[in-house]
A = this chain, B = another copy of it.
């Protein structure tokens, strides 16, 4: 545990950046999630799972791998996948014997669903984020994200 007594409060410009990030995230994610629901009847995690599977070799991934990539617990992912299974978007292939747990496989319906959803989703991503930024800002957004993702696990 860090000695929290010594944590300095955010100064004005850090405060503006942090509040700005929170506002950006809230607005952008709410809009994109709403569009996704209206356009395709999918939730954000539905889209993420379908997208992960459609890009994976053989359109399949281990449940644990999916959970890890989305930073979800296995049990949360398991519940979510069960609901997607009921809608026919994915199926579960038990891999008896190798002990590494179930594989989740994209169905024909799932593939058609993500293929139909993708163009509208891209339009929404453009409308609510990408097309609002200049080329320089797009490059800076990538740089900021890279920096955070690389440094977040570094020992301080």
Q: Which residues of A contact B (CB under 8 A)?
A: 2, 4-5, 7, 9-10, 13-14, 16-18, 20-21, 23-31, 70-71, 119-120, 122-123, 125-134, 137-149, 151-152, 156
- Specify which of B18, B123, B132, B145 is in contact with A4 (CB 8 Å cutoff): B123
Contact (Cβ within 8 A) A21 B132: no
Q: Is the interface of A mostly helix, strand, loop or mixed?
A: helix
Known A71-B30, A139-B13; contact A128-B144, beta-carbon cutoff 8 A: no
Contact (Cβ within 8 A) B28 A152: yes
Q: How many copies does the complex hold?
A: 2
A129 neighbours in B (Cβ, 8 Å) = 18, 21, 148
Contact (Cβ within 8 A) B24 A148: yes
Known: A23-B145, A137-B144. 4 other contacts (CB 8 A): A7-B119, A18-B125, A20-B146, A24-B145
A20 neighbours in B (Cβ, 8 Å) = 141-142, 144-146, 149
A9 neighbours in B (Cβ, 8 Å) = 122
